[in-house]
Amino acid sequence: MQAGGRRRAGRGARERLILDAAVAVFTERGFSASTLGAVAERAGLAERLLGDHFGSTNGLFRACVERAKTELLEATSSAAGLADSPEGMLRLSALAFFNHVERNESTWRLLCSDPAALDSIRAQQTDFVAALLAERAPRADPYRLAGWAQVIAGACERLAAWRASVRTVSAAQATDCLMDMVWTGLAACGDGRVQGGSPTPHNGRR
């Protein structure tokens, strides 16, 4: 590896170290009680380095959120790419979601503690699910696709919270629950020629 590659690898490793330390400190203390100094101490680095790179605790928190979004999308999209059927795409991506949340429990708790961060994750995953559904039903009404995606993404979030609270439900069992509820209806849609009228957005008026 060339010197430039080693430097980039070193920066990447140091950033991972900092963000891991930040997640731990934010989760333990809460955002308002966390400082760059506390994160630097946890990471074993100089506080100046964190300030130069992230600017503030708010900048550090945003970096944690962006990393969480990137890693979650990579996990779910990579899993969907392994499937050989529409059902498999949804099943494998849901299973990857539950496994990823479990492996990164501290990060997920941190995201859930901040409404803006959680909304950002929701929007990303809803868009991802909508794209998967569009492959299943390419001629479906866009509003139906958006609605289905909201239902599925919301169900995944609630099932993840349930798993964290009871500690006895496996990722596979949560995935089965999701598929039992949503796939029968989606399969009935076939190629997207859904019966019934298409919803039309309005602002309380017809």
What is the mean predicted confidence (pLDDT) over 169-176?
97
Of 65-74, 134-143, 192-201, least confident by mean pLDDT is 192-201
What is the mean predicted confidence (pLDDT) over 77-105?
94
For residue 185, the model assigns a pLDDT of 65
d(CA 173, CA 85): 20
Phi-psi region of 169 (alpha: psi -120 to 50; beta: other; left: phi over 0): beta
Among candidate residues 7, 15, 58, the one with its CA nearest the CA of residue 36: 58
Residue with tokens 């509003």: 143
pTM attached to this predicted model: 0.81
188 confidence band (pLDDT: 50, 70, 90): low
Alpha carbon 102 to its chain centroid, in Å, reads 12
What is the mean predicted confidence (pLDDT) over 124-151?
88
